[in-house]
Amino acid sequence: MNPRITSLLVALSFSLSGGAFAAGAKSYQITGTVVAATGSMVTVQKGTERLEIDLDPTTKGSADLKVGSTVTVTYVMSATKIGTSSASAEPSSPSPASSP
């Protein structure tokens, strides 16, 4: 096979596989009533559910938030810290030497 074609196929393969990693987190939506709004946070209530959502300075439409208005917020979940504990580890099975 021609080396030039092989190189193009490899480059195409890398570019297409990179798109899968760049997809990002799944997005969600909630529609509800604004119960509180500041420049950096909005609280939306839908029924008994209340969500406090931090706003990025580049969030579109965040300047138009007014308490009492109905809004639809599109957001992604993002972890800020993950802790693990040894209690959540799977218990080890007893060794054959300790069996009677």
Give pLDDT, residue 8.
47
pLDDT of residue 17: 47
Is 58 within 8 Å of 52 (Cβ atoms)? no
Calpha distance 57→96 (Å, rounded): 60
CATH class for the domain made up of 25-77? mainly beta
* pLDDT single digits (tens) 2-20: 555 544 455 545 554 444 4
Four-point Cα dihedral 73, 23, 81, 41, nearest 10: -20
Domain extents for the chain? 25-77
Mind listing the pLDDT tens digit for each residue in 55-94?
888 888 877 889 999 999 998 888 889 999 876 556 555 6
The verdict on pTM exceeding 0.75 is: no
